[in-house]
Structure 1
Amino acid sequence: MLTVFALDSRLQQDALVIGDFPLCRLLLSNDSNYPWFILVPRREDISELFQLDVADQQQLWRETTTLAELLKDSFDADKLNVATLGNVVSQLHMHVIVRKRDDAAWPAPVWGRHPAKPYSAEQVAAIRERLRLVLTEEFTFVEG
């Protein structure tokens, strides 16, 4: 039986779809306090890293490190927070959060520190354009 990838409803509610790497859907958390990206492997019923086969584990790490390096440079990050937590959303997802010494929560974790401040359409367009300049041809943007 063929299953179709479905994004967890909480991620759909709290994030904007940017596009797809070969394995992962790239989301932007709709919180302009921080450039906060989320990679979600397009695999069904996966909540833990070890549930991915070895090839997918390696691909997830490649996509994570590629994204982190690009974000560090293009957003002039002081630090990147990279983690899989999944306490609220069990679907496997990797957070890649750009941190700056002057951000709203520095140096504390971003979770629960401040109410989310949604992006404007102009801010999202600017982030998409910034990413277009640095992402490779293996990334497919989803317009919206």
Structure 2
Amino acid sequence: MSNFLLHPRLQQDCFIVADLALSKILLMNDNQYPWFILVPRRPGITEIHQLQEADRHQLLTESCLLAESLTALYQPDKLNIAAIGNLVPQLHLHHVARYKTDKAWPAPIWGKFDSCAYSEQEAQTQITQLRDTLRYSLID
């Protein structure tokens, strides 16, 4: 994992939340949706099928853990999970809590509206809440 570098676009657009056994959790800097991203810390990987089998299982485990935590924390109408990668080729899984009342519903959020940045305090609140929800599974 020593050769892993987070893609510059993810560095620019996100806050780092925590590290799980395989993946880094990020918070997208867009306060319109609770939007977190899971990035496996494996260099040169662009697709899930490129991961070793054990890493694929670990990614699914971590995705489910994040999904369960977001569902408990935000109680969304729907949780969207997607690996798109058209702008950022590095493998990453979006986890977005959606509500029937959000401005993009029922359409996908990507490219729909300009993002609205969190204040530093708002971002830290989101990060702290998720860390507290995940606290028994995180490795520091």
Give me the TM-score of the superposition, normalised by structure 1: 0.92
Q: Corresponding residue for 2:7? A: 8
SS in 2 for 1:81: strand
Distance 1:103 1:73, change over 3 A: same
Match of 1:44 in 2: 43
Instruction: Give the residue type in structure 1 aligned to 2:92.
Output: H
Q: State the AA in 2 paired with 1:56.
A: D
Aligned residues: 140
Q: Deviations over 1:96-125 (max 9, x none)?
A: 001011112111100111110000111112
Alpha-carbon distance in 2 for matches of 1:134, 1:25: 16
Matched, 1:53 2:52: yes
Shift of 1:136: 3.5
**Aligned with 1:111: secondary structure?**
coil
Structure 2 unaligned blocks of 5 or more: none
Is the partner of 1:133 in helix, strand or coil? helix
DSSP 3-state at the match of 2:134: coil
TM-score (normalised: structure 2) = 0.95
1-side partners of 2:42 and 2:36: how far apart? 18
> Secondary structure of 2:42's partner?
coil
User: Matches of 2:7 and 2:82 in 1, distance apart?
Assistant: 18
Residue 81 (structure 2) aligns with: 82
- Give % identity: 44
Tell me the amino acid that sits aligned with residue 52 of structure 1. Answer: L
Within 2, Cα distance between the matches of 1:132 and 1:5?
Answer: 23
State how far apart, in whole Å, the 2-side matches of 1:38 and 1:128 are. Answer: 12
After superposition, give the CA deviation of every residue in 1:70-113 in whole Å (9 maximum; x if it has no partner): 10111111100001011111100001001011112111100111
Distance 1:3 1:69 in 2: 29
| SS of corresponding position for 2:24 | strand
What residue number does 1:102 align with? 101
> Structure 2 counterpart of 1:66, which letter?
L
Residue 117 of structure 1 aligns with an amino acid whose one-letter code is: C
- SS of residue paired to 2:18: strand
| Alignment RMSD | 1.4
Residues 1:132 and 2:131 are matched in the alignment? yes
